[in-house]
Amino acid sequence: MAFKIKNITNSLDKRHPFVNTAVDIEYVQKNSVKEKIKLKVGEELIFDGNILPISIHNLRIKKFIRVVPISDDQVAGLTKPEQQPVIEAPKKLAKVVVEDSESESKDDQESKSKYTKKK
């Protein structure tokens, strides 16, 4: 069993003192070593374990993080990204169009004559 933990301090009120702040998650490893992880705004962390540490419970109660339990199959899918085939887009060729300067000047004169006011 694993848990996906996400920092959601960006969704707090704009006047909240802890809006857009990083949170510290403390936990104890198997060999009694205390570790601390800093989770920035919007970051996700996969915590692999059967029970959550007390620091995660405290942050969840304060609504600073969101905790979602996920299965082992989902963890394997998240840690091993599938390689998608790379498809190159076809190159677009530029089309060169050459116009006569006389035809442009006639078009300009016609457009000007359409929009001029007659008194």
> Nearest to residue 66, comparing CAs of 45, 38, 36?
45
Contact (Cβ atoms closer than 8 angstroms) between residue 56 and residue 28: no
C-alpha span between 38 and 25 (Å, rounded): 6
What phi-psi label fits residue 57: left (phi over 0), alpha (psi between -120 and 50 degrees) or beta?
A: alpha
Question: How many CB atoms are located within 10 Å of the residue 18 CB?
Answer: 13
The reported pTM is 0.62
With CA atoms as reference, report the closest residue to 8 among 67, 68, 66: 66
pLDDT digits (tens, 9 = 90+) for 100-110: 555 555 555 55
Give the tens place of pLDDT for each residue, 24-76: 999 888 888 898 999 999 999 888 888 899 999 999 999 999 999 998 888 88
pLDDT tens-digit series, residues 73-91: 888 877 666 554 544 544 5
